[in-house]
Structure 1
Amino acid sequence: MKKVIITGIVIIAALAGIMYVLNKNKTQNEEQTAIVGQKNAAVAVRVEVADYKDVNAQYIANGTFAPKQEVMLSAETAGKVTRVLVQEGAHVRAGQTLAVIDGDKLNVGLSNAQAVYNNAKAEVARFEGAYASGGVTKQQLDQVKLQLENAKNNLRSSQLTASDVNITASFAGVVNKRNIEPGSYVSPGQQLFEIVNVGTLKLQVNVDEKNIGFVKLGQVIKVQSPVLVDQEFVGKVSFIAPKADGSLNFPVELEIKNNATNDLKAGMYGTAFFGSEKSANALVVPRNAFVGSVSSNQIFVVKDGKAVLTKVVSGRTFGENIEIISGITKGTQVITTGQINLLNGTAVEIIK
């Protein structure tokens, strides 16, 4: 009996010891987990310091050159192409004939219309003489005059149709595409030639709301192409959009006179330089410091180890730097990466 009691006491003591050790370990684990949790709660971010910098005061915008004029010439009538008078790359003048379509059937129709018109004209002359002598009534004379008017309109229509056999350039330019050969059969509306004029080109760029107020119609702008690095061109502002797009940018169109050898080609990239080349000293932060986009005017700054969402007033754009007019001061740490994981007041850990 004593053995049983002693054995029970030993077992109970052992279980109590095990429970004590387990509870102690649990407490230690919870404390360690809490420490790790506090450490992991801080979001890793990178920062840069807002500071005054000497920046180029010019606003630079990029776009693609396009021809001032381009047109796709189509067939006006059906028929077989008898002659093609130009090749791709040929310079053509306004009104120059580019191709001729077989017009024999159209010429027959024109001859018939001319004969009907001549007959109706003679008939009117005969009825006018008869009416003067009382041989015909006024109603009969009016009837033949109406027939003459119809014949005249049919003749004019036949003349216009017959002239459609000549495909002519509507303006001076260069043949960029030729889609026909002699002997081809064409239908009305079929595209035959593409003519472009690159003597003058257009460059459309986007100007943001902070700089659009400095752009005026007729303003002369320096333009360059990265392909022609040793050449500089002059553009004149020909259009300023009255309405911004979804990104608060305003499309602006420039007209650029090409050089004598037409070195600028449609499709090349172009850069427009708005404003003077003088440098300016401005308080700036990186573009990627802004939450969402520059137009949001919101950035996260670091205060007491936390991210604080701050409203600022942004100014001019200097490449990848944005001017700050108000909202923060020099020396403020602004968060440039990791904003997607931040809320106002989130603890942060600055990494290099």
Structure 2
Amino acid sequence: MIKKIILIAVAIAILAATAFKLKTNKEVAEKRVYKYDIDKPITVKSIVLKPENAATSTVFAGNFQALRESKLSTDVQGKVLEIYVDQGSMVEENQALIQLDNSLLKLQLQSVEVKIEELTKDVKRYKVLTEADAIQGIQLEKTELALKSALIQKATLLEQINKTTIRAPFNAVVTAKMTEEGAFAAPGIPLLQITDISILKFTVNVPENSLSKFELNKNYTVSADAFPDIQLSGQTTMLGSKANIGNSFPVQLLVKNTNSHEIKSGMFGKVILQDDTDTSQITIPASALVGTTIKPQVYLIENGRAQLRDIIVAERIENRIVIAGGLKPGDEIVSNGFINLYNNANVNPK
């Protein structure tokens, strides 16, 4: 009986010690946990809104393409005898680029020239004999026709020989070399590719609500992403009449390249539209915007408290938001320091 009482007493003591330990641990944990003071002001950064000039710029991204590009081939077949240019070479209109073997054509030309010389003498001799009734006039006529045929044959050979020299159809740069000396050239097989980048086509895709900002034959400022400091002038030559898959319309501008042809075909760039209206507007930094795109909001500071305010967004220009409604000049809004911030929170703006 005494042993049983001792066991019960020990069990009670263990339970009491465990309860005391748990209570002590709870008190220590509660001391360590941070307790947020709801009445303590939250330090935030704020800005006071003021009207700004409405002059803005709208940017549309696009890419540059060569105005003219051609793959050159030959009209006559033959072995490539000599190539005068290489990839990257600048060429001028009518400059010789490739020479094909024309030795056989030149030999045929020599043979025809001998024949022409002989027929020319025969015609002169037969004219004298015909006038003296020594021969029939039909023989003179046949000889004259043979001379005309030989002259046509000569012209044909000269044209074929001329076509063995492949020339540049316009000023350009060689962008691809697709043959080597000794190779066989035939009609329809590309030998060189030349690209004219002195004038470039710049194409942008414009949303339907911005298409009216572009006018045909009007100049706009264009720049390449690789050379942002170089400002070029582009003239609109085409306004799209049919939307693409993204429901945007292509707008094409012609841009004169720099003298050193720094802008290359395939580069990306942008066209900048300036809007120089005289009205004023309110803009806020994009970082001040909270909520969603469907329901944009800001924290308006009134009487030391942050109040969530619904706003109407007109447009976004880079890192600024143009406000169409919900705010007025003189309003103070939170621009940074949104941690722990909530509606009607006590704030300390700086």
Q: With structure 1 as the length reference, what TM-score do the two structures score? A: 0.58
Aligned 1:154-303 pairs, distance under 5 A: 154-207=153-206, 210-213=209-212, 215-237=214-236, 239-241=237-239, 243-245=241-243, 250-278=249-277
- Matched positions, count: 243
Q: Which residue type is aligned with residue 89 of structure 2?
A: A
The answer as to 2:162 corresponding to 1:143 is no
Cα gap change, 1:250 to 1:177, in 2 (>3 Å): same
Paired residue secondary structure (1:167): strand
Contact 2:240 2:251 in 1 (8 A): no
Paired residue secondary structure (1:171): coil
Paired residue secondary structure (1:191): coil
Residue 87 (structure 1) aligns with: 86
Paired residue secondary structure (1:95): coil
Could you list the runs of 5+ residues in structure 2 that have no partner in the other structure? 1-51, 282-293, 296-313, 319-323, 327-350
Cα deviation for residue 119 of structure 1 reads 3.0
Partners in 2 of 1:318 and 1:132 — Cα distance?
97
Partners in 2 of 1:220 and 1:56 — Cα distance?
18
Residue 64 (structure 2) aligns with: 65
Paired residue secondary structure (2:181): coil
Cα gap change, 1:162 to 1:58, in 2 (>3 Å): same
Cα deviation for residue 176 of structure 1 reads 1.1
Residue 40 (structure 1) aligns with: none
Cα deviation for residue 223 of structure 1 reads 0.2
Larger radius of gyration: 2
Cα deviation for residue 56 of structure 1 reads 6.6
Q: Which residue type is aligned with residue 123 of structure 1?
A: D
Moved more, 69-78 or 156-165: 69-78
Contact 2:59 2:271 in 1 (8 A): yes
Contact 2:197 2:257 in 1 (8 A): yes
Cα deviation for residue 264 of structure 1 reads 0.7
Q: With structure 2 as the length reference, what TM-score do the two structures score? A: 0.58
Cα deviation for residue 126 of structure 1 reads 3.0
Contact 1:59 1:317 in 2 (8 A): no
Q: Which residue type is aligned with residue 260 of structure 1?
A: N
Q: Which residue type is aligned with residue 169 of structure 1?
A: A
Partners in 2 of 1:135 and 1:319 — Cα distance?
99
Describe the superposition over 1:19-67 as per-residue Cα deviations: whole angstroms up to 9, x where unpaired.
Answer: xxxxxxxxxxxxxxxxxxxxxxxxxxxxxxxxxx997765543322111
Q: Which residue type is aligned with residue 75 of structure 1?
A: T
Partners in 2 of 1:318 and 1:145 — Cα distance?
84
What is the identity percentage for the equivalent residue pairs of Structure 1 and Structure 2?
23
